[in-house]
Every structure is written in structure tokens, then in C-alpha cells.
């Protein structure tokens, strides 16, 4: 995606940018020296954009093996007085949380901003967790932009706050803010800070002494309390004459503004940009003369709880509507339909917003593997091997990434999906509890991220499981970021290639198969399934999309019309999107076929044959 002026523009230039790009530009302007993270929708483009900046500016940008390691590496830079950014999706925050708690207690000598993108509505799958709530539990401040413009402004502010209070500051966006475009006005790119050797201060930077640890905790609480004053800078007040008011934060603010404008409403509104710690004084001022207040925020009642505390503290008689009385839901996004429904109970709206979010008629699309995806072959091989091994039931724990798509038809192999790396531990537990062979299916980047500790356990206690690593050389689900095996960094520069095979071989015997080589792979898999011991198989073949992009497709297949009896076995059993029925004929779209040969293996009539590349 061309970024043009976002990368090269100077102070005063106006640029159209999505939230993730706006955040990246703001971080560069704030003078960061280091940015790292782990890919995860909807946060991924932030680091990808920074990688583009790193070609011009002296910023080190890299994907890390997981979010915890990313945060710890960034903290090293912060200890050396440098400014850092760490990016992740909401579930990544859980992985990084152990480090984030401790870092927050000790504080950050160099500014540190943690960008977390939440996903209300679970558009990208995974839990709808609210990172603001986690921030308030640590506690660390969290800024919650409602637009690209605020993403840009708040990120710059986050660096200033982190520098002032020496604690990590979270910028929390949601899918819609991360991905929607708005014009931002660029600022100056500030000089980077100079690296300094940290002051050795074990009272501040270690935890084993309970008194020191308590002191660190007290310091953190004091800082966050003081930040309630800073929080007052990130509010926007709209005057109104109604006797009820609305307090809103995050993406729903834009929706609310639009509805108010289009319906000429006269409701007092307070937008809160820093939902934790909330601007206590301003909230009190806003609510004290109202009869009722509606709090609009997605997911958890983070702001609402603080408002209820203020009301309790000042003994006010104001009714609060939000999560506590079911006015807003804990589940899903708050869009036009939801905001209009809340308002229509109190004021007359000129327009109907019923179903407005779904007005674009997008053709339905089945979730399936791409044409020629090596994972399709691997799961087909697994099913075939299970049949030949006489397994009555194939129980397979799935994992995060493209590999989980085998839960759908026609493969229907994966039973579960919990979190990064969980397939192995769960397979272990199931195998011990049921005393039978269980398969754990996990991708290469996922096993690097969080699957290695469970693999060590499985080997130590000889679990009766098959760890099936589907290795396609890329973090494919999030847009083909490199894994440690790929041998390039975020900007495309060469790095050392880390061999997954050698790492796993240090733990247990490993067999390698090529899933495009179907029959020999079935035999190896069958043997593994018959065994009562731990088996590890790496099914290794590059992602078919990358093969297409990089011109690495060696062969393609076609259907000989005269031989085809239209039984549709190839289509039904593979579900390959390259196989279509056109004008009553079964055909292969040769331009997207990557020659996996699965359909040819399946066709009982020898109607599918290789054709030239
Ligand atoms: S060989 Fe068959 S199954 Fe494989 S990509 Fe081509 S059409 Fe699809
Ligand atoms: S499996 Fe073979 S015979 Fe059946 S529809 Fe496909 S190409 Fe035709």
C-alpha cells in the first residue's frame, strides 16, 4: 500500500491515513528509537508502517517472537533512556501482561507506549476483551482514540505522558478506529533521545524485597492518581439543553456525533479520550446538574464504574444508564443502530438506523483455505492416515492462525481453539485423561510464539500425542509477516534463519513431510498415529499465496473434460476455491491453482492432470 506523504511529508502537510498509519507517524514524530510487536489483527499495519519508516529514519523496527519478549526488549531500550513503541492485538496484551505489571511498578526511564488494538464484535476472531480494564487493573493510563486524527494526537500525547511520569502508557484502539481513514495534519519529527547507561537502582528495578515492591506499587498508584489532572486535557464537551447527558468514549463518539448532527439534537455530550484514569473533576462538573446520564462505551464499564464512584463519593442523586442497567451491551460494537436505539427512548429521531451497518450487499464468502494451501493437504493426509491407522475418532486440538480453518467443511478436523500454543497442552491433557492418541495441530509461528514450553512438557512426560506442525514459512493469517524461520526482518532485510526442526529435535525426534507429496506423507502420519508415544511431524511447504506472489509455482493442474464424469468428488473433498462449475463443466482456474495435486489424488477417474506452468 503506497504511504507517500505519510512517510515523506513535513510539518503542516495533510495526509489521509488509517488509524494504524496515523499512530506510526505519531510515534516517529515523537522520536522513537525502537518499535516491536507481534502481528495480530487489527494492530498489524502499525508496525508494518513503521518498518517502512525505518528505511529512511534510524529507527529499529522488528517483529518479535511474542508480545512478552517484544515488551521486554523495548524495556531494555527504555532503561537506556530511549523512546519505544510496542504493538499488539488485545490477546497479545495477556501474553505481555506479566512483564507489563512489573515494568509499570518499576517505571520507564525512557518513554514507552504500548499500542493495543481491541476487537469489539470479534471481527478477527478471539475474545472481545477490553484492554482498558486490564490497564485499570495494573494500573496504567490508557488513551482511547475515536478516530485516526485522535490516534495521531493521542499517540504523541502518550509519549509525553510516559516521559513525564515514567510509566508505560497504553493507546487502545478498536478495529474500526485502527482501519478507518481520516485526514491528519503532520507535525515535526523530533530528535531521538540519546542512549544512557541506566542508574543501578535495585530498590526500583527488582521485586524480591517485599518492602521495595510495595513502595513501587505505591509510587505507581500516586502517579496514576496525579494523571487524573492530565486526563482533563483529552475531553470534548458539547453543550445541550436536555436534562440528561451522554458521556462517551472511543469509537462510538463518532457515531453519536453523526446522529446528533443529522437529527438536530440538543443533548449535552462529554467525550472522554482517557477513560482511565478518568478526569474526575470534569466528570463531576458535567453530571452534577443532570437528572440522568447515559454512558456509552464498548465492552466493559470502565468509565461507567469511575462515574458511579464519583456519584457515590459526592453523594449525588443521578441515575446512570449503561452496562449496569443493560442500556448498553457488554458484547459487540456500538454502532449507529445501537446508539439510535438508546437515543430514541428519550428523543425523537428523524431517521431510522435499523440495519444501517449492514446496508452494503457483500456477497457471502465461505471461510476456507486458499487454493493449493499446504494446510488443506496436511489435514487431508491426517484424515486419511487416521482411517488407515484404524482410529475410531480423530480428536484434534486446533490453534490460532490459518491452521484453524480445518474446523470447517469439508475437512472438519479441528475441535478446539483457545489461545496461542494451547493445542499442545490441551492434547496432552486429553490424551492422559482419555488414554488415547490426540493430535495437536499448530502453525509454525504459533509454536514459536507459545508452543515450545508445552512441547517440552509433552516430551518429558511422553504424552500420547501427535504434534503436527503446519509450517508454511510465514505468519500468513495476518498478512505474511516473517517468522524466525523466514530469514528476513519487518523491513525485508536478511536475518539469521532459525531452524524449527533443529529446535524441536533438541526436545524429541522429528519427522518432516512435504504435504504436496501425499502418499509418502500418509504413511509417515499413519505410523505416528499408531504409536502410543509422543510424535512430532513438521508438515513443511511454503504458503501457496506467497508462492503465487513470488512466482514459485512449479506446476498447475487441469481437468480433461472427456474423462470427467462430474461426480464432484474433487470439489466436495478438497473445497479448493480453484475448482469451479462453469456452464455445467467442472473446471480448474489455472491462474490460482498452485499445483498441490490433491484434487488429482482424489479424482477416481484420472481426469485431473498436470499442465504446464
Ligand atoms: S491442484 Fe487441485 S486442489 Fe490443488 S490448487 Fe490446483 S485445483 Fe486446487
Ligand atoms: S473428481 Fe474427477 S471426475 Fe469427479 S468431478 Fe472432479 S474431475 Fe470430474
Same domain, 458 and 391: yes
Please tell me the predicted confidence (pLDDT) of residue 612. Answer: 67
Which protein residue has the closest C-alpha to ligand 1 atom 2? 599
DSSP 35: E
Please tell me the predicted confidence (pLDDT) of residue 351. Answer: 80
Which range of residues forms the domain containing residue 413? Answer: 374-549
Domain membership of residue 210 (yes or no) is no
DSSP string computed for 374-392: HHHHHHHHHHHHHHHTT-S
Q: Which ligand is nearest to the CA of 603?
A: 2
Domain membership of residue 217 (yes or no) is no
Q: Are 201 and 230 in contact (CB under 8 A)?
A: no
Q: Are 50 and 85 in contact (CB under 8 A)?
A: yes
DSSP 494: B
Of 495, 521, 549, the position where a domain reaches its end is: 549
**Ligand 1 center from residue 381 Cα (angstroms):** 15
For 175, 270, 294, 305, the CA distances from 312, given in Å and listed in that order, are 34, 20, 16, 10
* Average pLDDT of the chain to the nearest whole number: 95
**Ligand 2 center from residue 597 Cα (angstroms):** 13
Q: For the stretch 211-240, what's the b/e string if a residue is b when 16 or more beta carbons lie within 10 angstroms of its beta carbon?
A: ebbeebeebbeebbeebbebbbebbeebee
**Closest by Cα among 606, 559, 551 to 578:** 559
Same domain, 326 and 387: no
Atom in ligand 2 nearest the alpha carbon of residue 579:
6
Torsion of the alpha carbons at 515, 517, 519 and 524, rounded to the nearest 10:
-60
Same domain, 246 and 195: no
What percent of the chain is predicted at pLDDT more than 90?
94
Interhelix angle 44-53/19-29, rounded to 10 degrees, is: 40
User: Which pLDDT band holds residue 356 (cuts at 50, 70, 90)?
Assistant: low
pLDDT digits (tens, 9 = 90+) for 213-240: 999 999 999 999 999 999 999 999 999 9
Q: Are 143 and 169 in contact (CB under 8 A)?
A: yes
DSSP 226: H
**What cell does 299 get?**
465492552
Q: Are 275 and 248 in contact (CB under 8 A)?
A: no
Cβ–ligand 1 contact at 515 (below 6 Å):
no
Cβ–ligand 1 contact at 424 (below 6 Å):
no
pLDDT digits (tens, 9 = 90+) for 388-414: 999 999 999 999 999 999 999 999 999
Phi, psi of 488 (to 5 degrees): -135, 160
Q: What is the mean pLDDT of residues 432-444?
A: 98
Residue 547 burial by CB count (10 A; 0-12/13-18/19+): exposed, middle or buried? buried
Whether the pLDDT of residue 1 is over 60: the answer is no
Domain membership of residue 40 (yes or no) is yes
pLDDT digits (tens, 9 = 90+) for 2-33: 678 999 999 999 999 999 999 999 999 999 99
**Ligand 1 center from residue 570 Cα (angstroms):** 9
**Ligand 1 center from residue 148 Cα (angstroms):** 41
Same domain, 161 and 46: yes
Domain membership of residue 227 (yes or no) is no
Whether the pLDDT of residue 355 is over 70: the answer is no
Same domain, 342 and 382: no
Cβ–ligand 1 contact at 372 (below 6 Å):
yes
Please tell me the predicted confidence (pLDDT) of residue 366. Answer: 77
Whether the pLDDT of residue 154 is over 90: the answer is yes
Tell which one of 563, 565, 589 to mutate to probe ligand 2, the residue whose CB is within 8 A of the most ligand atoms. 565
DSSP 92: H
Cβ–ligand 1 contact at 594 (below 6 Å):
yes
Same domain, 449 and 510: yes
- Vertex 552: Cα angle to 550 and 557 (nearest 5): 125
Same domain, 110 and 161: yes
Same domain, 246 and 334: yes
H helix count then E strand count, the chain? 23, 25
Please tell me the predicted confidence (pLDDT) of residue 3. Answer: 73
Atom in ligand 2 nearest the alpha carbon of residue 608:
7
Of 549, 581, 596, the position where a domain reaches its end is: 549
Same domain, 49 and 163: yes
Domain membership of residue 513 (yes or no) is yes
Domain membership of residue 222 (yes or no) is no
Domain membership of residue 226 (yes or no) is no
The alpha-carbon radius of gyration of the chain (Å, integer) is: 27
Whether the pLDDT of residue 358 is over 80: the answer is no
Of 199, 224, 247, the position where a domain reaches its end is: 199
Please tell me the predicted confidence (pLDDT) of residue 583. Answer: 95
What CATH number does residue 579 fall under? Answer: 3.30.70.20
pLDDT digits (tens, 9 = 90+) for 541-580: 999 999 999 999 999 999 999 999 999 999 999 999 999 9
What CATH number does residue 240 fall under? Answer: 3.40.50.920
Which protein residue has the closest C-alpha to ligand 2 atom 4? 567
Q: Are 601 and 574 in contact (CB under 8 A)?
A: no
Ligand 2 shell residues, CB under 6 Å: 559, 564-570, 586, 603, 605, 607-608
**What cell does 162 get?**
510516559
Please tell me the predicted confidence (pLDDT) of residue 609. Answer: 97
Same domain, 504 and 600: no
Please tell me the predicted confidence (pLDDT) of residue 363. Answer: 64
Which protein residue has the closest C-alpha to ligand 1 atom 6? 593
pLDDT digits (tens, 9 = 90+) for 582-603: 999 999 999 999 999 999 999 9
Residue 269 CA to residue 256 CA, distance in Å, equals 9
Domain membership of residue 54 (yes or no) is yes
**What cell does 502 get?**
533443529
Whether the pLDDT of residue 370 is over 80: the answer is yes
Same domain, 303 and 329: yes
Residue 85 CA to residue 38 CA, distance in Å, equals 12
- Vertex 278: Cα angle to 275 and 282 (nearest 5): 125
Same domain, 171 and 282: no
Please tell me the predicted confidence (pLDDT) of residue 4. Answer: 84
Number of domain units in the chain: 4
433: which residues sit within 8 A by CB, 6+ positions away? none
CB atoms within 10 A of CB 479: 13
Which protein residue has the closest C-alpha to ligand 2 atom 6? 570
Whether the pLDDT of residue 362 is over 70: the answer is no
What CATH number does residue 538 fall under? Answer: 3.40.50.970
Please tell me the predicted confidence (pLDDT) of residue 367. Answer: 85
Q: Which ligand is nearest to the CA of 588?
A: 1
User: Which pLDDT band holds residue 352 (cuts at 50, 70, 90)?
Assistant: confident
**Ligand 2 center from residue 526 Cα (angstroms):** 26
Atom in ligand 1 nearest the alpha carbon of residue 598:
3
Amino acid at each position: 500500500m503506497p504511504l507517500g506523504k505519510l512517510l515523506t511529508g513535513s510539518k503542516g502537510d495533510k495526509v489521509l491515513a488509517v488509524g494504524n498509519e496515523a499512530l506510526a507517524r505519531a510515534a516517529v514524530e515523537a522520536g522513537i528509537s525502537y518499535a516491536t510487536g507481534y502481528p495480530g489483527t487489527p494492530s498489524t499495519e502499525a508496525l508494518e508502517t513503521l518498518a517502512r519508516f525505518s528505511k529512511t529514519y534510524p529507527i529499529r523496527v522488528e517483529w518479535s517472537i511474542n508480545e512478552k519478549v517484544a515488551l521486554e526488549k523495548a524495556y531494555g531500550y527504555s532503561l537506556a533512556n530511549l523512546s519505544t513503541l510496542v504493538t499488539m492485538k488485545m490477546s497479545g496484551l495477556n501474553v505481555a501482561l506479566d512483564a507489563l505489571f512489573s515494568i509499570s511498578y518499576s517505571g520507564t526511564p525512557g518513554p514507552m507506549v504500548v499500542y493495543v488494538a481491541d476487537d469489539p464484535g470479534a471481527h478477527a476472531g478471539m475474545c472481545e476483551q477490553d484492554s482498558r480494564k486490564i490497564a485499570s487493573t495494573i494500573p496504567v493510563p490508557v488513551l482511547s482514540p475515536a478516530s485516526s486524527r485522535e490516534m495521531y494526537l493521542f499517540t504523541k500525547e502518550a509519549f509525553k505522558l510516559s516521559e513525564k511520569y515514567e510509566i508505560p502508557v497504553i493507546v487502545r484502539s478498536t478495529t474500526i478506529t485502527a482501519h478507518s481513514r481520516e485526514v491528519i495534519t503532520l507535525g515535526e519529527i523530533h530528535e531521538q533521545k540519546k542512549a544512557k547507561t541506566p542508574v543501578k537502582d535495585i530498590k526500583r528495578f527488582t521485586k524480591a524485597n517485599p518492602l521495595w515492591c510495595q513502595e513501587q506499587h505505591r509510587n505507581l498508584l500516586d502517579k496514576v492518581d496525579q494523571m487524573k489532572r492530565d486526563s482533563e486535557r483529552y475531553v470534548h464537551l458539547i453543550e445541550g439543553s436536555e436534562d440528561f447527558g451522554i458521556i462517551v468514549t472511543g469509537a462510538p463518539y463518532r457515531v453519536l456525533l453523526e446522529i446528533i448532527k443529522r437529527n438536530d439534537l440538543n443533548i449535552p455530550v462529554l467525550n472522554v479520550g482517557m477513560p482511565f484514569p478518568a478526569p474526575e473533576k470534569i466528570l463531576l462538573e458535567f453530571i452534577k446538574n443532570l437528572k440522568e446520564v447515559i454512558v456509552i462505551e464498548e465492552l466493559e464499564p470502565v468509565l461507567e464504574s469511575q462515574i458511579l464512584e464519583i456519584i457515590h463519593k459526592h453523594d449525588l442523586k443521578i441515575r446512570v444508564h449503561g452496562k449496569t442497567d443493560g442500556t448498553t451491551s457488554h458484547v459487540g460494537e456500538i454502532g449507529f443502530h445501537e446508539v439510535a436505539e438508546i437515543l430514541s427512548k428519550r428523543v425523537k429521531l428523524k431517521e431510522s438506523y435499523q440495519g444501517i451497518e449492514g446496508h452494503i450487499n457483500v456477497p457471502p464468502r465461505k471461510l476456507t483455505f486458499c487454493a493449493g494451501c499446504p494446510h488443506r493437504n496436511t489435514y487431508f493426509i491426517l484424515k486419511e492416515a487416521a482411517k488407515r491407522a484404524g482410529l475410531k475418532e480423530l480428536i484434534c486440538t486446533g490453534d490460532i492462525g490459518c491452521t484453524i480453518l480445518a474446523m470447517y467443511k469439508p475437512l472438519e478436523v479441528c475441535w478446539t481453539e483457545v489461545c496461542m500454543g494451547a493445542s499442545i497442552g490441551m492434547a496432552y491433557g486429553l490424551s492422559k485423561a482419555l488414554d488415547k492418541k490426540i493430535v495437536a495441530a499448530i502453525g509454525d509461528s504459533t509454536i514459536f510464539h507459545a508452543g515450545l514450553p508445552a512441547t517440552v512438557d509433552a516430551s518429558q512426560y511422553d504424552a500420547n500425542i501427535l504434534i503436527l506442525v503446519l509450517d508454511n514459512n510465514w505468519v500468513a493469517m495476518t498478512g505474511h509477516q516473517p517468522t524466525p524461520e523466514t530469514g528476513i526482518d519487518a523491513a525485508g532485510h536478511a536475518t539469521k534463519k532459525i531452524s524449527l526442526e533443529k529446535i524441536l529435535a533438541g526436545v524429541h525426534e522429528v519427522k518432516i513431510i512435504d504435504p504436496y507429496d501425499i502418499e509418502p506423507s500418509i504413511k509417515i502420519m499413519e505410523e505416528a498415529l499408531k504409536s502410543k508415544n509422543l510424535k512430532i511431524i513438521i508438515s513443511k511447504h511454503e504458503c501457496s499465496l506467497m508462492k503465487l506472489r513470488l512466482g514459485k509455482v512449479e506446476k498447475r493442474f487441469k481437468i480433461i473434460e472427456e474423462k470427467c464424469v462430474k461426480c464432484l468428488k474433487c470439489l466436495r473433498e478438497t473445497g479448493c476455491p480453484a475448482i469451479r462449475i462453469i456452464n455445467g463443466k467442472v473446471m480448474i482456474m489455472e491462474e490460482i491453482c498452485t499445483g498441490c495435486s490433491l484434487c488429482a489424488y482424489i479424482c477416481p477417474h484420472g481426469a485431473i492432470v498436470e499442465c504446464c506452468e
